[in-house]
Chains A and B, each alone.
Chain A
């Protein structure tokens, strides 16, 4: 199994997939080639770490969003997100199908948590020289 299959599975689950639909992994693989999203050695090392410890993903992803938004790992995550968004099985993860209760509070909470994770991630990236 090529590395990217494990990567695709981890990234899809991180974004919100419960099950991986059959077509997603090959499409991700093909898209990586088409968009030339190759990782250099440093980026590759960071990706390996994230695949070993997926709990780091929200921190590193959020940190990169703040300090290096054009990082290839961010681009790979965006690709996975776009592929999932345009997949019938995952469309519901992106559409707002029902009225969400206490939306204002959730909005502040979600936004706040995401910023916090980003700040922690940015410190991690800086202190451990991961980016």
Chain B
């Protein structure tokens, strides 16, 4: 084999597409848990609710997964159709921590099975802080946008923060009625907001509103958390299946890569079968790690037999449920979309260097029982209360930027797990970070209040809840252990490359996945250029 990729998530898919395009032999090793994805839902959300006698199994799961403890506490919105995404991680990727609870995946497509599709390019200032190469990244964004298809607004107050005209977009999705009303209200007052560093607009989403190859345009069935209608949402399995069907990718699932070693011109990866616990080695000329920041770091630490503490970055994340007062008790039965409707950016220095972004969602298809579970009200009154509230409900999810702090680290320690170790982690905020997070939360609450949204609660998720991780093997221009070169090569090795977020040395307060994919493509391009 020429190249071996570990993982099948967003980064692995993009690295594979680039490497496979070269005609070389590519092997993908993946834990690869799978579940059939519904791509042709027969009816929309409302028809299902009103007429489908089997809906309980659909919405709650055959095993009532949506009600059980099977879902990860940091993804309370997990539906039965998606529990496979985080399955088996407790067993094979154990975490030891009292304050950091990351969500990881051992699925075909990784966390990309559940990502909210928010696709944002980092600004020049953000790329520099991440230590990513500015011009090549800007070009790579265009390539990825073409591959995955992105819808959004070419020119509104937010587009500079979403894509900065680095790529063209398909038209935005239709706004839900309450979001359209809220957006109209913002536009009337946009000048005042912009003066304060706040901009609102349509998010860029990896969701098609026009056909792209054999993927179809979104059809507004409002079943976004249960199905992928016509494959309109970009999920990495789409790329992996396409490459396997073309016969250019050798995909081996069921294998957990443990560690790697190099001898002469061959990299050997030792793997564990997740079903039988049998061990097996795979070989290739070059290895590309795309197991997610934490997954790749585990492999590197095992292979280097180090017990050092490595740094880690994770965005703090605040949820703000809000009642949009003009829509209290309004009819709520039409065709809607459960994905992000609006994006608001708070640019504290007004120079795109330290932006905190809020994605604004409506709430409907995840059903009321999830809210009832969290509300301090009795169920009978709570039900009636929600009939009034839900049509007006917005959830704003705010990502706060994250830089390195010395107290935040990950470390591999021996344990009785099948891999013989667990990842011990610590993640806390300094007083300064805490103050900035609170200031940002307050700024957002005030901005939404001006738009007639009543913030019902500000909820900071447990650390790790943003599901954005990076920075454990920082980029470095000079050779250092546990660092990677600007080209993505792991120092201390000859043929091991890291193509996920492990090298990013800063985490902007916005979705990172488009940048992860762009970087994975860049790394693969450099590997090809190396021969």
Contact = CB atoms under 8 A, between A and B. Distances in A.
A110 B50 contact: no
B379 interface: yes
Count chain B CB atoms within 10 A of each CB in A96, A110, A111, A115 and give the residue with the most: A96
Contacts of A111: 377, 385
A88 B380 contact: no
B373 A78 contact: yes
A15 B369 contact: no
A58 B385 CA distance: 14
A87 B49 CA distance: 7
A100 interface: yes
Contacts of A93: 383, 387
A62 B377 contact: yes
Given A86-B59, A95-B333, A61 B379 contact: yes
B270 to A, nearest CB: 38
A117 interface: yes
A35 B71 CA distance: 13
A69 interface: yes
A78 B52 contact: no
B276 interface: no
B328 interface: yes
Contacts of A114: 377-378, 381-382, 385
Interface range for A: 35 or more
A18 interface: no
Contacts of A127: none
Nearest to A60: B378
A5 interface: no
Given A62-B378, A117-B378, A107 B331 contact: no
Contacts of B55: 86-88
Interface in A88-119: 88, 91-101, 103-104, 106-107, 110-111, 113-115, 117-118
A85 interface: yes
Nearest to A61: B378
A87 B56 contact: yes
Interface string A71-82: 000000111111
B220 to A, nearest CB: 17
B21 interface: no
Given A78-B373, A81-B369, A16 B380 contact: yes
Nearest to A102: B329
Interface in B356-378: 367-369, 372-373, 375-378
A101 B386 CA distance: 15
Interface in B474-488: none
Contact of B68 (A35, A57, A62): A35
Interface string B26-51: 00000000000000000000100111
> At the interface, is chain B mostly helix, strand, loop or mixed?
helix
B266 interface: no
A83 interface: yes
Contacts of B331: 96-99
Contacts of B52: 88
A59 B376 CA distance: 12
A92 B66 CA distance: 21
Contacts of A45: none
Contacts of A85: 59, 367-369
A39 interface: no
Given A34-B63, A78-B372, A100 B387 contact: yes
B519 to A, nearest CB: 41
A57 B380 contact: yes
A118 to B, nearest CB: 6
A65 B376 contact: yes
A113 B381 contact: yes
A27 B56 contact: yes
Contacts of B367: 82, 85-86, 94
Interface in B42-89: 46, 49-53, 55-56, 58-60, 63-64, 66-68
A89 to B, nearest CB: 10
Contacts of B373: 78
Given A35-B64, A88-B50, A65 B375 contact: yes
Given A82-B367, A88-B51, A110-B388, A61 B60 contact: no
A92 B251 CA distance: 46
Contact of B50 (A15, A59, A61, A91): A91
Nearest to B376: A65
B389 interface: yes
B388 A82 contact: no
Nearest to B379: A77
B381 A58 contact: yes
B330 interface: yes
A81 B344 CA distance: 34
A31 B382 CA distance: 22
B378 A81 contact: no
A81 B68 contact: no
B387 A96 contact: yes
B448 to A, nearest CB: 17
B383 A94 contact: yes
Contacts of A95: 46, 49, 332-333, 387
A107 B379 contact: no
Interface of B: 46, 49-53, 55-56, 58-60, 63-64, 66-68, 323, 325, 328-333, 367-369, 372-373, 375-391
Given A31-B67, A65-B376, 10 more contacts: A61-B379, A65-B375, A65-B378, A69-B376, A85-B368, A96-B333, A99-B330, A103-B328, A110-B384, A118-B377
16 contacts: A16-B383, A35-B64, A58-B378, A58-B380, A82-B67, A86-B56, A86-B58, A91-B50, A95-B46, A95-B49, A96-B332, A98-B331, A101-B329, A103-B328, A113-B381, A114-B385
4 closest A-B pairs by CB:
A103-B329, A100-B329, A62-B378, A114-B381
